[in-house]
Structures are given as C-alpha cells and as structure tokens.
Structure 1
Amino acid sequence: MGHVIVTSVSLLWILLTIVTTLTVFSALLTPKWLIGPQRILRDNGTTVSSGPPTVGVFNRCTHINNHRQCGIFAMDGLATDSNVFPTLWKISLVFFALGVTIMAFTAMAAVLSCCMQSVNKKSIFTVTGSIQAFAGILYILGMVMYSSGWGSSRVIRLCGEEAHAFYLGDCSIGWSVYSAILGTILTFITACLSVSAERTTSSDKVNQHVEKGETLVCLL
C-alpha cells in the first residue's frame, strides 16, 4: 500500500517550485523588459503626449494619450524577420520556454512526491532537483541571449544609437527582468531544497510512522 508523506520541508519545496515557475512564466509573457524614453509627438500642430514604450521578449506596448496598445511583434513565431524579432531574442525565447516547460513538469513531479517518493529505485526528489538546476541554467542562457540582443536594430530604434550588447543606451530595465532574475535564483534554491526534502521524507521519524501502518504521514 502506498504512503502519503508530507513534511514541512517537502511542502515548502512543492510550493516554492510552483511559485518559481509562475514567476518566470509571468515575466516571459509581460512586455516590461525594456522601458524606452518618454516621447512627445505632434499631430497637426497639436502636442500629443506619449508614455514610454515598453518591450518584452516577443511583445511590446505603446502609450498614446493614456491609451495603452499592446501586441506581439513575433507574428510569424521564430520565422519572423530578424529586424522585427532579433535572432538573439528568438534564442532567448526558446531557452525560457524550455525552462518554463521543464519547471512545469517538475511542479507536477513535486506534487506526486507526496505519494511516490522514488521511481525505479531513484529518489524523485533528487532527480527532480537535478532537472530544476538544468532549468535554471536555461534561464541564465536566456538572460544572456536577451542582453546580447540589445545591439539589434529594434533596440537601437527604441533606445538610441548608443545601445549595444549589454548596454541599453536611453532605455531602462523593466520589472519583468527583475522578476526573471528572481525566478532564476529561486529555481536554484528549489533545486537545493529538493535534497533536504528527500532527507526529511526518509527520516527515522517518518519510518516510525510508516512501520506503524500509517498511510498518511504529515510532519509539519
């Protein structure tokens, strides 16, 4: 008969895995990676205020007279022209998408770890933790590729001629970048936490409850 085992550390690992995945996913979807300079436009002699345009990995937003207009500039996916969707940003999107997909699977594995602590005699915690570390590496590569693309024609049009790889010129970094960085750090923390989760679910205290015939072991 299977056992449901939950400890404070394993529960923290499960919740942190879910939060981490959602953090990077939300950052990837939000066009707040780069914030361009505020612009003043003129239409038939009338001054029209324009809020700062923002750009994400594959989408962008503009603000005109307090009206926000957002859209996806990668209309043809990875086949979109490189002047519109920089090649390095395409690579960045692939890395982030792979990382988020992997983390989504590890989130499901983390939930299953309550009922199934091993697969083919291998700890589901350590295997999942190793996969999470790999996802963290993909996130780092995604960040590097995105920053390398700051010298593309799209970024130069937004941030000025001085923009180049790893330098934004007149633009500033949006909160989505910080969210992605936070998610990356948390991903490595979850990978390390998986080791502690494995130890607590196989501790002597847990084994004592299992030997008593208890099918639900909850040590919080």
Structure 2
Amino acid sequence: MCHVIVTCRSMLWTLLSIVVAFAELIAFMSADWLIGKAKTHSHAKADNQTRGVSEPHHPTLGIYARCIRNPGTQPIQRETVCGPYAENFAEIASGFWQATAIFLAVGIFILCTVALVSVFTMCVQSIMKKSIFNVCGLLQGIAGLFLILGLILYPAGWGCQKAVSYCGHYASAYRPGDCSLGWAFYTAIGGTVLTFICAVFSAQAEIATSSDKVQEEIEEGKNLICLL
C-alpha cells in the first residue's frame, strides 16, 4: 500500500528541484548570454525617405541562438528577430561552446529527470532498498559538476569569430570585449548554485520522511501523512 508522506522539507526540496531544472533549461535555450554593443537602425518615412533619427539596439548572442534587429522598411517590421544561428551542432560558433552545450545538456537532462522523479517521492521513498532522496541528491551533485564544466568552458569561446562580430576586436577568451553578460549567464550560475543546495537538502528531506513521527503515523494505519 502506498503511503503518501508530505513534509515541509520534502516539499521544499521537490519545488526547488523543479525550479532549478526549469531555470537551467530556460537559460540554455536563451540568446541572452552575451549582450553586444549598441547598433543603430534608422526610421523610414512612408515615402521611403530615411530620417536622421535612429534607435539603438543591442543584439544578443547565446550558445547556439541570437537576437538581431530585423532591418525592415516599415515600422512594424523593425522588430527583434530571435532564433538559432546554427542549423546543426557542428555549426555552433566555437569548439568550446560545443563542449559547453554538451555539458549543460547532460546536466539539464539529469536535473529534469530528478525533477520528474521528485514529484513521486510523496508516495515512493525508496528504490532498490535505497532512499530515493539520497539517489536524487547524488544525481543532482553530478549534474552540478557538468554545469560547472560547461560554465567554465563557455567564456573560453569569447574569442571566436561570431563573438568578435558582436563584441568587437578586443573580445578574446575570458574577455567579453564590448559585450556585457546577459541574464541567461547569471541564471545558469544561480541555477548551478541551487543545484548543489538541492543536493545537500535532499538529505534533510530523507530525514523528514523517515522520522519516528512518520513511522508512528504509518503504524496507526494512516495513508496520508502530513507533517511540518
């Protein structure tokens, strides 16, 4: 019989696991890793005569995606266009970014798997006689190591031709030149830190769900156990 066990610590660990997985996934897919130097685009009148007034725009560049201003002649067409600049993995701008993509993808896959499993920990607390919380915590620690490797290798690719076209000729490995770091890079770093926090906190979730109070509730025949 399945005993549904819900505690504050186990629920907090589950929510953090889900948040971390989504944060890393969104950051990986985003083009806002590097924010390029401002470029201008001129307004156009209805009679196709260009005015001298121009509006600044900061193109952004991600691991495999980018956002640029669509050079349209009508105001409605001057929107930011985002999408992959590489049609396949081999066309990613730098070998370092290819390695970054691999490490981040592996880490995110592990995190998403743990996030999915964490939903069922309310009903299943062990797998093959081992605490599912401890197993998930170990996987989160491994995922964190993959994420760290990816984030360390990412700045090494700032000297590639694609990055130089966005960040100027002063851009080089670990020097972003005229570019600034976007929210996606910081989100990936924050998610990595939270990944290790989740890995450590999984032990607390295991303790909470296997406490003496929980065992007493099970012996009393309760199927739904909610504890603070």
- Please classify the TM superposition score into its range, dividing by the shorter chain length: over 0.9
What's the TM-score once normalised by structure 1's chain length? 0.92
Unpaired segments ≥5 residues, structure 1: none
Partner of 1:92: 100
What is the distance in 1 between the residues matched to 2:82 and 2:136?
37
Picking from 192, 197, 221, the partner of 1:213 is 221
Unpaired segments ≥5 residues, structure 2: none
Q: How many residues align?
A: 216
What is the distance in 2 between the residues matched to 1:46 and 1:101?
50
Which amino acid in the other structure matches residue 5 of structure 1? I
The answer to whether the 8 Å contact 2:138/2:199 transfers is yes
What is the distance in 1 between the residues matched to 2:173 and 2:60?
18
Picking from 132, 136, 140, the partner of 1:124 is 132
1:165 matches 2:173: yes
Q: Which runs of 4+ in 1 moved over 2 A?
A: 40-50, 63-66
What is the distance in 1 between the residues matched to 2:6 and 2:156?
43
Output the aligned Cα RMSD.
1.8
The answer to whether the 8 Å contact 2:41/2:57 transfers is no
**Aligned runs of 1:26-37 on 2, under 5 Å?**
26-37=26-37
Deviation at 1:79, TM superposition (A): 2.1
What's the TM-score once normalised by structure 2's chain length? 0.89
3-state DSSP of counterpart to 2:158? helix
The answer to whether the 8 Å contact 2:114/2:136 transfers is yes
What is the distance in 2 between the residues matched to 1:79 and 1:148?
18
What is the distance in 2 between the residues matched to 1:49 and 1:115?
56
**Aligned runs of 1:109-148 on 2, under 5 Å?**
109-148=117-156
The answer to whether the 8 Å contact 2:164/2:170 transfers is yes
Picking from 65, 80, 83, the partner of 1:68 is 80
Partner of 1:150: 158
Partner of 2:60: 54
What is the distance in 2 between the residues matched to 1:129 and 1:217?
23
